[in-house]
Chains A and B, each alone.
Chain A
């Protein structure tokens, strides 16, 4: 579903992403790990077509992002970091706007919006403007926006960031339930999240993939150690 080959992106003199390759199949939940500034978000932005890679390619459903970005964007649900949204709109107005851009016009909008609101439990804040929402609700609005058109691929940049433990569990359950017929990439700082829901882990450090395996294989590297210790030993050069 998602094929990434030798992606490179340089900001000024800093090489943020340096030849990242991996692929995600239907049914996969790929955990994208790495220290801050390792290149996780940049890689995701290139897959979603927001940034143009300096070299390399990203394919979604066999379509090259740089060749037909709109077709790729139709097949993707993307939750950007910090879930940006228009603060002066209400939840409903915002989701209606997203639905319209996604091609649900007129009365056809209500079904997907209602579904997204239901999945992310936004019913109580439907009529509130986004600037009045707590961080947890904002994050859920971002999630609702990404799920609205039931895309075959999801790219989630820190989906559980800012949520309380209950909400985190809920979001994880939601992702897990949907994963059977989707390809999901999610980035996170929380190692237990990877253990809980991911069936593959990629650790990225200084713009390169240093680990691409299952959580069990990662654990098997140092059977006695906790995951965050393994993580630290793999990414230590990044400080």
Chain B
């Protein structure tokens, strides 16, 4: 397990050795804040001192931004042949998978936390519920991990970053749409309510919404953690195949 550290350090540093990190961080912050301030977000119109209008868009933003971070995790290694180097060093596949995943997750966490000036602004303008705010950040980070697990897995399946991105997007979109009320209503049209509920339970939105309302339910935490565990397990299996 001690071998996770060097893999993590190399991967995390890798984001900052190229312009990728800076472009990503800027794009993410500009777009996420712009959406909240726009008339779709209604950040000012709502007249509430909170970031609910900001976090609302996260499931949709992650749909594009997390695959952009995750697509290179394994595709790049396989295409350039460095996978051969990595897997002939004395590390297990699990060490490598965890190290890389944690590096990308930490990077996403950084992107999410860099929106802190917005939180400070809200705190200056009014008196937000800090518990809800912290809870939303916590939920966002967990959700990013869930998305990333899926992306890491699809990245391990192909040498092409483009294919990896597109497949990740589709897989994440599927996990997202399952929870939309329109979709569940449609399912309830021909399925028993219990089954439709169970299906919508697999969605990011269902589990993320509670966090933005300030509710920390162990069920939701378990959902994201088990999604990560499951995708990373498949990731190891895919690479060892």
Residues from chain B with Cβ under 8 Å of A84 in the complex:
80-82, 84-85
Total interface residues on A, CB under 8 Å, equals 28
Interface residues of A in 26-72 (CB under 8 A from B): 45, 48-50, 70-71
Q: How far is the CB of B172 from chain A (nearest CB, A)?
A: 27
Q: Tell me which of A78, A93, A101 contacts B91 (CB under 8 A).
A: A101
Which residues of B59-97 are within 8 A (CB) of A? 80-82, 84-85, 87-92
| B10 contact set on A, CB distance < 8 A | 86, 89, 97
A100 proximal to B (CB < 8 A):
yes
Minimum C-beta distance from A191 to chain B (A) = 26
A48 B85 Cβ-Cβ under 8 A: no
Q: Which residues of chain B (158-214) have a CB below 8 Å from chain A?
A: none
- Known A-B contacts A85-B82, A86-B14, A88-B14; the reply to A80 vs B88 at CB < 8 A is yes
List B contacts of A73 (CB < 8 A). 88-91
Residues of B within 8 A of A78 (CB): 88
Determine whether the beta carbon of A74 is less than 8 Å from that of B90. yes
- Closest residue to B96 on the A side, CB-wise? A101
Cα separation A102 to B88 with both chains bound (whole Å): 11
What's the Cα separation between A89 and B15 when bound, in Å?
A: 11
**What are the 6 closest A-B residue pairs judged by CB atoms, nearest first?**
A84-B81, A100-B6, A73-B90, A88-B17, A74-B90, A48-B88
Q: List 22 A-B residue pairs with CB atoms under 8 Å apart, sorted by A's residue number.
A: A49-B87, A50-B87, A73-B88, A73-B91, A76-B88, A80-B81, A80-B84, A80-B88, A81-B81, A82-B81, A84-B81, A84-B82, A84-B84, A84-B85, A86-B10, A88-B17, A89-B14, A93-B13, A100-B9, A101-B89, A102-B90, A103-B90
Q: Which of A139-155 contact B (CB under 8 A)?
A: 145
Taking CB atoms, residues of chain A closer than 8 Å to B87 are: 49-50
User: In the complex, what residues of B have CB within 8 A of residue A129's CB?
Assistant: 17
A74: B residues at CB distance < 8 A: 90
Asked whether B88 lies within 8 Å of A85 as measured between CB atoms, the reply is: no
Cβ of B18 < 8 Å from any Cβ of A? yes
Cα distance A85–B33 in the bound complex, in angstroms = 38
Residue-wise interface mask of B (1-24) relative to A, using a CB-CB cutoff of 8 A (1 in contact, 0 not): 001011101100110011000000
A74–B17 Cα gap in the complex (Å)? 28
B207 CB to nearest chain A CB (Å): 36
Q: Which applies to chain B's interface (DSSP): helix, strand, loop or mixed?
A: helix
Rounded to whole angstroms, the CA-CA distance of A85 and B14 in the bound complex is 13
Look across to chain B and name the residue whose beta carbon is closest to the beta carbon of A93: B13
Interface flag for A87 (CB, 8 Å): yes
B90 touches A101 (CB 8 A): yes
Identity of the chain A residue whose Cβ is nearest the Cβ of B84 in the assembled complex: A80
The CB with the most chain B CB atoms within 10 A, among A48, A87, A101, A145, is that of: A101
Q: Are B3 and A101 in contact (CB under 8 A)?
A: yes
B81 & A89 in contact (Cβ 8 Å cutoff): no
- Give, as a whole number of angstroms, the nearest-CB distance from B55 to chain A: 33
Chain A minimum-CB-distance residue to B89: A101
Asked if A98 CB lies within 8 Å of chain B CBs, one says yes
Given contacts A82-B81, A86-B10, 4 further A-B contacts (CB under 8 A): A89-B10, A93-B13, A98-B89, A100-B6
Q: Which residues of A contact B6 (CB under 8 A)?
A: 97, 100-101
Set B80, B85, B88, B89: member contacting A87, Cβ < 8 A: B80
Chain B hits for A80, CB < 8 A: 81, 84-85, 88
- Provide the residues of chain A in CB contact with B18, threshold 8 Å: 88
A129 to B87, CA, bound (A): 22
Assembled-state Cα–Cα distance A116/B5 (Å): 23
Is A50 a contact of B88 with CB atoms below 8 Å? yes
